[in-house]
Amino acid sequence: MSDEAIDRELIARWLAGDQRAATTLVERHAAALSRFAAAMGGVTGSDVDELVQDTFVRAFNSLESFRGESSLRTWLFTIERRLMLDRRRAERRRPEKMPVAEGDAASEYTALDGIVADEMQERVRVAVDQLTALQREVFTLRVTEGLSYKEIADIVGSTEGAARVHYHHAMRAVKEYLGVPHA
Amino acid sequence: MRDCQEDVKDLLPDYVTGRLTPSDAARVSAHIDACQSCAAELTVVRAAHAAFRSPPVDVARIVAALPSPPSKVIELAPRMQRRAFRFTSWRIAATIATIAVSSVSIVALQGILRDDKPPAVKRVVLKTTDAAEASGLSVGGSLNDLSDKEMQTLLDKLDELDAVPSAEPQPAVSGMRGAAGVQ
């Protein structure tokens, strides 16, 4: 059974009143949503947790109207991305920026997880941070989640061709930052 | 595999995330062994894939925040309908009772009004105050006994007194400052 079929079955079970199906759905997708939020930058620690929770709450509130035209994961990413954009806009509207807690997303995660990232990964993170927001979204969804260009296009509201172009531009920029020759 | 620029590099994220079929994975692997450029890009993709790990999320907390499955609402619906029916019945009963009481009250009031004599004053005796007497206004007996001339005199005298409050006309000249009695 494919991932999408499993999701559809879990959704049907939840709609029929099985609360355990909700737990399974959250377990299946929470990590990807959390990873995407952290990769986008500007969201740290408990903010990631809250963002992921808000994403699921919104999704479950309209799960009855979910038609399955895209995969559940794509739909969840779309909701999460909108929430992130809303938060960024709200941040920009604030007259004074709140002081940022010590440590960025990467270092906080490393501290929490007890893992010391190697130099290459650290440099990749910095390189990805240099990308435009759209390039960062496309690059992250393609490389960390393995989504297709079609799925990415659905999430960011673009076309498959445009998503492909954004990915290649992002990859070129990352390689340049890392000093990796690209032919 | 036509050209590594177009095909293999596009497949590298799928290769890293394990989304390729075994045969496609074998072909990519064989190409990488022979292509330095694609091997270098694979290193970047692998590093990027590993760089963004998901910060921990509290699944239990997320599930606790989710709405209940809609089927529970459906299950409760008949009970809610019964409650709504009881409430509607109570309202209908209250409305009927109110109409009944109002009707009885109106009938009773009409009966009282029929029994009551019109509040016309047949015999009004003006008991003037000392001040009124001093001004020469002194009336005894019924107003009906007064001739037109006497009535005009009385009205002239009244005009000389303080202004009468502009209230609804009373059956007698009770608005006058002098004490008025109705017999």
pLDDT digits (tens, 9 = 90+) for B158-183: 666 654 444 444 444 444 444 444 33
Chain B: closest CA distance from residue A90 (Å): 23
- Note the CATH number of domain B1-78: 1.10.10
pLDDT surpassing 80 at residue B44: yes
Chain B: closest CA distance from residue A60 (Å): 7
* Cα B39 from Cα B105, distance rounded (Å): 98
CATH topology of domain A117-183: Arc Repressor Mutant, subunit A (1.10.10)
Who has greater pLDDT, A179 or A167? A167
Who has greater pLDDT, B111 or A91? A91
Q: Which of B17, B21, B28, B53 to mutate to test the interface with A (most CBs of A within 10 A)?
A: B53
Domain boundaries, chain B: 1-78, 124-182
* Cα A149 from Cα A101, distance rounded (Å): 35
Instruction: Give the per-residue pLDDT at A40.
Output: 85
Residues in B touching A113 (Cβ below 8 Å): 53, 55-56
Mean pLDDT of chain B: 68
Q: What is the ipTM of this complex?
A: 0.78
Chain A: closest CA distance from residue B67 (Å): 7
List of residues 6+ apart from B103 with CB closer than 8 A: none
pLDDT surpassing 50 at residue B128: no
pLDDT surpassing 90 at residue A66: no
* Cα A26 from Cα B44, distance rounded (Å): 30
Residue B26: pLDDT band (50, 70, 90) is very high
SS3 state of residue B129:
coil
Who has greater pLDDT, A148 or B179? A148
- Compare all CA atoms of chain A with the CA of B42 and give the residue at the minimum distance: A143
pLDDT surpassing 80 at residue A19: yes
pLDDT surpassing 80 at residue B74: no
Which residue in B125, B143, B131 sits closest to B181, CA to CA?
A: B125
Domain with CATH 1.10.1740.10 in chain A: 1-115
Question: CB-CB: which of A15, A113, A121 is closest to B47?
Answer: A121
- For A159, how many CA atoms within 13 A lie in the half-sphere containing its CB? 3
Residue B112: pLDDT band (50, 70, 90) is low
Question: Could you write out the DSSP letters of every residue in B18-72?
Answer: T-S-HHHHHHHHHHHHH-HHHHHHHHHHHHHHHH-PPPP--HHHHHHHSPPPHHH
Instruction: Give the per-residue pLDDT at A105.
Output: 45
pLDDT surpassing 60 at residue A29: yes
Residues in A touching B13 (Cβ below 8 Å): 142-143, 146
The pTM score is 0.60
- Compare all CA atoms of chain B with the CA of A13 and give the residue at the minimum distance: B69
Q: Residue range B77-96: average pLDDT? A: 59
Q: Which of B28, B57, B58, B74 to mutate to test the interface with A (most CBs of A within 10 A)?
A: B57
- Note the CATH number of domain A1-115: 1.10.1740.10
pLDDT surpassing 60 at residue A147: yes
B112 touches chain A (CB under 8 A): no
A117 touches chain B (CB under 8 A): yes
Question: CB-CB: which of B53, B58, B75 is closest to A35?
Answer: B53
Q: Residue range B58-67: average pLDDT? A: 93
CA B15 to chain CA centroid, Å, is: 61
Nearest-5° angle of CA A145, CA A148, CA A153?
105
Question: CB-CB: which of A27, A34, A174 is closest to B55?
Answer: A34
Mean pLDDT of chain A: 84
